[in-house]
Structure 1
Amino acid sequence: MASSTVTPPRPDRPPRPNLAFRQLRGQRSPAEFAALVRRAAREIDERVSCDARYIGRVEAGEIRCPNYAYERVFLHMFPGRTLTDLGFAPRSSVRGRGARPDDETPPAHIGRPARSPADAPGTDETRRTYEPYDTQDPYDTHHDHEESDVLRRAFMTGGGATVAAASLGPLGFALEASATERPVRRAGGSQASALEEAVRRIRLLDDRHGADGLYRRAATPLRAAYALLDAGATRQATADRLHSGAGELAISVGWLAHDSGRFEDARSHYAEALATARMTGDNALEAHAFCNTAFLARDAGRPREAVRAAQAAQRVARPLGSPRLMSLLALREAGGWAGLADRTGCEQALARAQALYERGATDADPEWMSFYGEAELEGLEAQCWSTLGDWPRAARHARRAAELQDPHFTRNIALYTAELADDLARGGRPDEAAAAGLRVLDLLGQVQSSRIQTMLAGTARVLLPHRRASGVSEFLERHASTPRKV
C-alpha cells in the first residue's frame, strides 16, 4: 500500500551507483558474485543470505554501508581494503543504526563472537549493535522489517536448512513440523518438497490475485531456498530437486516483480535462475528462465533482446520434447519481432506457435505451463497485433482470449479484458471499450496487478476525448476513483 507521505530526499545519500564495488565484480554475473560472497562467509564462520538482488542493490548505491556481518565478509574477500575503498559510505555517516565508532569495527578474519545471555535476541542492545542479517539501508522505507526479523531469528537458532524450513511459511506453505523443530545440517526430502510446494502456492495465488500483494512476501522463501542450497543435501537426487526448486522459485518471484512493474528486480531474479540452471545443467530450468527473460525484455522496451532470449530458449528447449513449450517460446519471439515493427518476422513466429500448439499436450510439458492454453495463445497474439498497430485484429484475439479463459485464472481474465478495452479504444470503438473497462474495474477488487492498472490508465487517456459516448463517462469516473495499489 502506498504511503500517504513522501520521504524527502536525503542530501547525503550517494548521488551515483557504487562503481568501485561494480568493478570488483568484474565479468561475473551478480548471481555468481553472490555465490562467492556466501563462500567467503563460510570461510570465516559467518553466515549471510547474499543473492543477486543484494549485489544489485549494493551496486545501485541503495545500500550505503553494509551491516557488520557483510563488512567482515567483504574485508575478508578483499584484504587490505577499507569499506571506503569498496565504495561504501563511512559508517559514522549512516544514521539510524546506532553504529559502532570506527575503532570498534570488527576485524576481517575473526568469526562471529560468542554470545552471552545478555545478547539474547529481542533485546534493544542486540538490535542496535548486532544485526548480522539485516541488509537494509536505514533510509529504505519500503522494506518489510517483519520478514527481516523472521529470517534473522531463524538464522540465529540453527543451520541453513533450519532457517529455510522456518522461512518458507510466510505465504502459508505446508511444512512438516519436525523440519522447524530441530537443527538440520543437510536438507532432505521434506525440505525439497516444501520448496516445490512453495512454488506451486505462489503460482496459484498469482493466478487468482495478481502479483502486487505477493512480491515482498515471496522474497523471504526465496532467500530461504538458497539457504537450503548452501546447507547441502543428504543425496544427489535431493540436491537436484533443491536446485530446480530454487531456480523455479526465483523465476516465480521474478514474475511477481515483473507483473508489479519492478523490472530491475525481475531481471535480477531471472538471472539468478539462469545461473542456477547453467551450474547444474538443467535445460528445462534454463528454457524457463530464458522464456521469462524474453517476456521481460519485451515489456521493458528491449525487443531485440526479447528475440535473442526467445531464440536461446528454443535452442535449449528443443531436446525436451514439448511442442507446447516450443509454441510458447515462439510466441515470446513473436512479441520481440512485433516490438521491432517486423511484421513478417512476427507472422512467421505466430504461425510456428499455432502449428506447435496444435500438436497437443504431452507428458513432457513442464508443470509451470499450466497457464498456457488456447486463451493464453490468443491473448499473446492479441498483444503482438496491438504492438503492430492492427487494433481490429488485436481486439478479435483479445475478446476470444477473455471468453476462453478458465474462471480460475482471474488475473488473466482481467488482463485479456484490459487488452480488449485498450484495443477497442484505439480502434475507434469507445462505447465497447468503456464496457470492457468497466468489467476490468469490477475484477480489481480480487486482482492486484500494476500491469493491468497501467493498461487501464492508458485506455482512460485514449477515451478522454470521447466522454459523451455511451458508458465512457461512467468508466472514466470509476477509473479516477479507483485507488492504485502499490
Structure 2
Amino acid sequence: MESERNVALEAWMDEHQYSANGLAIAINAGLESLTGKVGTYDGRHIREWRSGRVRWPNTATRRVLSDLSGRSPVDLGFVPRGRTSPAAVPQEDSMHRRTLVTGAVSTAIAAAAPCAASTRKIGMSDVGRLQQKFTAVIASDHKHGGQRDIEQRAATLADTALNLQNSGTATQRVRSSLYASAASFRSSAMWAAIDGRRFKDALIHMREAQALAELSGDQAIKFRIWSHAGTLYRHMGRPTDARAANDVARNLHITRRDPMFASLGMARQMAIQGVSHELRSLPRTFGQAREAMSRASTDAYRPVWLLAFWDEAELHSLALSAYLAAGDWPTAEYHAHQCLASLRPHMQRSRAIATSRLAHAQLAQGDTDAATHTAMAVNAEAATQHPRVSRMLQEFGAALRATAPGSRNARAWTEHTAAWRTPA
C-alpha cells in the first residue's frame, strides 16, 4: 500500500520557506542543543517524512520539531505508532486536524498554480541586501565582540538567507550566493560564540557553517570557517585539532591565488605554535606571514570580513598572542606596542584584547607600575562585557596580587575594578 503524503508538514515547510536541507540543518542544531549529540539528518530524511514513508520520528526529534514549529507532531501530520492514520488520534483533536489538513491541501494546490507568489524571481539584488546586513554584523562584532545578541542575530540572518532559497526561482549562481551568505552569517555566529567563550555553541555553528559552505562552493567562506575552527580548538586547549583545522584552510587553492589569505593562514598557524611552545618556529612563521601580505595585490576583490580586520596590526596581534603563550614576554610586549600603534579606530574589541595582553607581558617582566597602568587603560565596557577581556583582566588581577601582595598597585587595581561593579 502506497504511503499517504504528509501534506501538513509540506504546507508548514512552504509557509516558513524551509527546503528539505534547510529543515534538516535546523533540526540537527536543535538536537545538539537538546541532547549534546550532533544530529545526522539530511534532506533525504525530510523527504521521507513528506512522502509518508517515515510517519513518526523519534522522541527527541519530535520535541525539536515542536519547539521549531510551535505545533504538535500530530498537527504537523505525523502519525503515532500503532495508528493507521491521523484520524486515529483522540476525538478532541479531529476538528482541528481536519481544518489543518484541508488548509494544507488548499495551500499545496495554491502553490502549484502558475501565478503563485512563490514563483517570484530571486536575484543578486536579494543577495546584495543580505550582504549589507552581513556588513552590519561585522561592524558590530568589531565594536563589541563576543556578545550573545550578535551571535543570535547572525544565526537568524543565516536562516533568513537559507529560507530565501525556497521562496522562488533562481539561477545556480544566485543559489550558490545564498548558501554562501548563509554560511557567512553562520560563521559570524560561530566567531561571536568563540569570542564569548561559548565553545559548545560555537561547535554547533561551525558544523552548520561547514555544511552550508560546501553547498555554496565558495572558497573564501570555506577558508574563514576552517580558520575559525582552528582558533576555536586553540582556545579550547586542543592544539593538535587546531593545527589540523587551520591546515585545511591553508591548503585551499584560494591561498595560492591570493597571498592575503595565505598570510592570515600563516599568522594563525603562528598562534597555534605559540600555545604548543614552539618558540623557535615563531620568527620564521611571522616572516612568512608578513612576506605573503606584502605580495598581496591592493586591487584584488576580497570579502568584507577579510577587509574589515586583516592588516599589519592584526598580524602583530597574533604574534603577541603567540609569544605570550610561549612565554617570551619581551617579544610579546614589542608586538603589543606595534599592534596598538597601527590598529584602525573601529577595532575596539581588538584594542581591548591587545591592551590586556600587553599588561600581562609587562607584569611577567616584573614591571608592576607599567602593567597596572596598562590594564587600567582597558575601557570599562570591554572589561565587564567582553568575556575574553574580562577573563584576561581577572587573571591579571590574580597575578598582580600574587606578584606584589598588598602593594600600592594591587590596592589601586582592587579599587579600579570595584568601580566597574558599582552601579552608576
TM-score between the two structures when normalised by the length of structure 2: 0.75
- TM-aligned CA distance change 1:460 to 1:242, over 3 Å: same
Instruction: Work out whether residues 225 and 246 of structure 1, in 8 Å CA contact, stay in contact via their aligned partners in 2.
Output: yes
Higher CA-based Rg: 2
Q: CA shift at 1:346, angstroms?
A: 3.7
Provide the residue aligned with 2:209 in structure 1: 273
Correspondence 1:434 to 2:372: yes
Alignment-mate amino acid for residue 30 of structure 2? Y
Provide the residue aligned with 2:125 in structure 1: 190
User: Which residue of 121, 138, 156 corresponds with 1:203?
Assistant: 138
User: Which residue of 439, 457, 461 corresponds with 2:398?
Assistant: 461
Provide the residue aligned with 1:257 in structure 2: 193
- TM-aligned CA distance change 1:261 to 1:234, over 3 Å: same
Alignment-mate amino acid for residue 457 of structure 1? Q
SS, match of residue 475 in structure 1: helix
Instruction: Work out whether residues 380 and 420 of structure 2, in 8 Å CA contact, stay in contact via their aligned partners in 1.
Output: no
Alignment-mate amino acid for residue 221 of structure 1? L
Task: Give the Cα–Cα distance (whole angstroms) in 2 for the partners of residues 437 and 325 of structure 1.
Answer: 32
Task: Give the Cα–Cα distance (whole angstroms) in 1 for the partners of residues 78 and 360 of structure 2.
Answer: 59
Instruction: Work out whether residues 186 and 206 of structure 2, in 8 Å CA contact, stay in contact via their aligned partners in 1.
Output: yes
- TM-aligned CA distance change 1:82 to 1:436, over 3 Å: closer
Q: CA shift at 1:314, angstroms?
A: 1.1
User: Which residue of 324, 327, 347 corresponds with 2:263?
Assistant: 327
- 1:71-470 correspondence to structure 2 within 5 Å: 78-79=54-55, 82-83=58-59, 107-108=78-79, 113=97, 187-212=122-147, 213-231=149-167, 233-318=169-254, 321-362=257-298, 363-370=300-307, 371-442=309-380, 444=382, 448-465=385-402, 466-470=404-408
Q: CA shift at 1:323, angstroms?
A: 1.3
RMSD between superposed Cα atoms in Å: 3.8
Q: CA shift at 1:45, angstroms?
A: 3.6
Alignment-mate amino acid for residue 199 of structure 1? F
- TM-aligned CA distance change 1:395 to 1:77, over 3 Å: farther
- TM-aligned CA distance change 1:227 to 1:308, over 3 Å: same
Task: Give the Cα–Cα distance (whole angstroms) in 2 for the partners of residues 329 and 313 of structure 1.
Answer: 7
Q: CA shift at 1:199, angstroms?
A: 1.0
Task: Give the Cα–Cα distance (whole angstroms) in 2 for the partners of residues 77 and 428 of structure 1.
Answer: 70
Q: CA shift at 1:425, angstroms?
A: 1.9
TM-score between the two structures when normalised by the length of structure 1: 0.66
Alignment-mate amino acid for residue 57 of structure 1? S
SS, match of residue 107 in structure 1: coil
- TM-aligned CA distance change 1:190 to 1:423, over 3 Å: same
SS, match of residue 267 in structure 1: helix
Task: Give the Cα–Cα distance (whole angstroms) in 1 for the partners of residues 121 and 86 of structure 2.
Answer: 25
Instruction: Work out whether residues 158 and 183 of structure 2, in 8 Å CA contact, stay in contact via their aligned partners in 1.
Output: no
- TM-aligned CA distance change 1:103 to 1:453, over 3 Å: closer
Alignment-mate amino acid for residue 456 of structure 1? L
Structure 2 stretches of 5 or more lacking a match? 1-5, 40-45, 80-84, 88-95, 104-109, 112-116
**Which of 407-416 and 314-323 deviates more?**
314-323
Instruction: Work out whether residues 420 and 436 of structure 1, in 8 Å CA contact, stay in contact via their aligned partners in 2.
Output: yes
Q: CA shift at 1:448, angstroms?
A: 3.6
- TM-aligned CA distance change 1:61 to 1:304, over 3 Å: closer
Structure 1 stretches of 5 or more lacking a match? 1-39, 64-69, 120-157, 160-181
Instruction: Work out whether residues 151 and 188 of structure 2, in 8 Å CA contact, stay in contact via their aligned partners in 1.
Output: no
Alignment-mate amino acid for residue 325 of structure 1? F
- TM-aligned CA distance change 1:413 to 1:46, over 3 Å: same
Alignment-mate amino acid for residue 187 of structure 1? I
Instruction: Work out whether residues 10 and 50 of structure 2, in 8 Å CA contact, stay in contact via their aligned partners in 1.
Output: no
Q: CA shift at 1:189, angstroms?
A: 3.1
TM-superposition CA deviations, 1:308-361 (whole Å, max 9, x none): 111111110445522121111111112222222222344432221122122244
Task: Give the Cα–Cα distance (whole angstroms) in 2 for the partners of residues 390 and 77 of structure 1.
Answer: 62
TM-superposition CA deviations, 1:15-69 (whole Å, max 9, x none): xxxxxxxxxxxxxxxxxxxxxxxxx999744426552432321332899xxxxxx
Paired positions, count: 367
Instruction: Work out whether residues 9 and 77 of structure 2, in 8 Å CA contact, stay in contact via their aligned partners in 1.
Output: no
